[in-house]
C-alpha cells in the first residue's frame, strides 16, 4: 500500500515537499502515543499513527526509517514539526479519525500490523 493510498483511506490531509514520497510502499503500521513503545516494538519502515504531537514523534520515526506519520484525532502539526519532518524526508498526514479506527481501517484495507 502506498502513502497516497493511506491518505485516501483515512481522508487525511498531506504535508510533504516531495510528491514522489507519496508513492512509497508501506507494508506495516504501528499505532501508539508512547514513543518508547514505538522504539521497542515497531518495525522499521512502518507508518506511525499517533495522537502525540511533538518533535519527538518525528525524531522517533526518523530513527526507525519510518517514511510517514499520521497524526490522528484532528491534531494539526506545528510549523516546527513540519519543518523537522521535511528535513527528515517524512510525510505527515493529518486525519480527524481516532487512533483505533484509523488502525482498523488500514488493517481492513490490507496493511499488516506485525
Each residue of 48-92: pLDDT tens digit? Answer: 999 999 999 999 999 999 999 999 999 999 999 999 999 999 999
Tell me: pLDDT of 113 over 80.
no
Which of 22-31, 32-41, 105-114 is predicted with the least confidence, judged by mean pLDDT?
105-114
Count of domains for the chain: 1
- Mean pLDDT calculated for residue range 93-105: 97
Is position 18 within any domain? Answer: yes
> Pick from 97, 79, 95, 98: which is nearest to 87 by CA?
79
**Dihedral pair phi/psi, residue 69, rounded to 5°:** -125, 135
| Structural domain span for residue 46 | 3-108
- Angle at which helix 3-10 crosses helix 99-108, to 10 degrees, equals 120
Tell me: pLDDT of 112 over 80.
yes
Domain CATH code at residue 8: 3.40.1390.20
Is position 80 within any domain? Answer: yes
* CA distance to 51, 60, per residue, from 66 (Å): 16, 9
Amino acid at each position: 500500500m502506498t502513502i497516497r493510498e493511506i491518505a485516501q483511506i483515512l481522508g487525511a490531509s498531506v504535508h510533504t515537499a516531495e510528491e514522489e514520497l507519496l508513492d512509497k510502499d508501506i507494508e506495516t503500521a504501528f499505532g501508539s502515543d508512547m514513543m518508547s513503545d514505538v522504539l521497542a516494538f515497531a518495525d522499521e519502515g512502518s507508518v506511525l499513527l499517533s495522537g502525540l504531537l511533538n518533535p519527538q514523534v518525528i525524531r522517533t520515526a526518523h530513527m526507525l526509517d519510518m517514511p510517514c506519520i499520521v497524526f490522528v484525532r484532528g491534531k494539526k502539526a506545528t510549523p516546527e514539526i513540519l519543518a523537522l519532518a521535511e528535513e527528515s524526508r517524512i510525510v505527515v498526514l493529518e486525519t480527524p479519525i481516532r487512533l483505533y479506527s484509523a488502525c482498523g481501517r488500514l488493517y481492513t484495507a490490507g496493511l499488516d500490523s506485525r
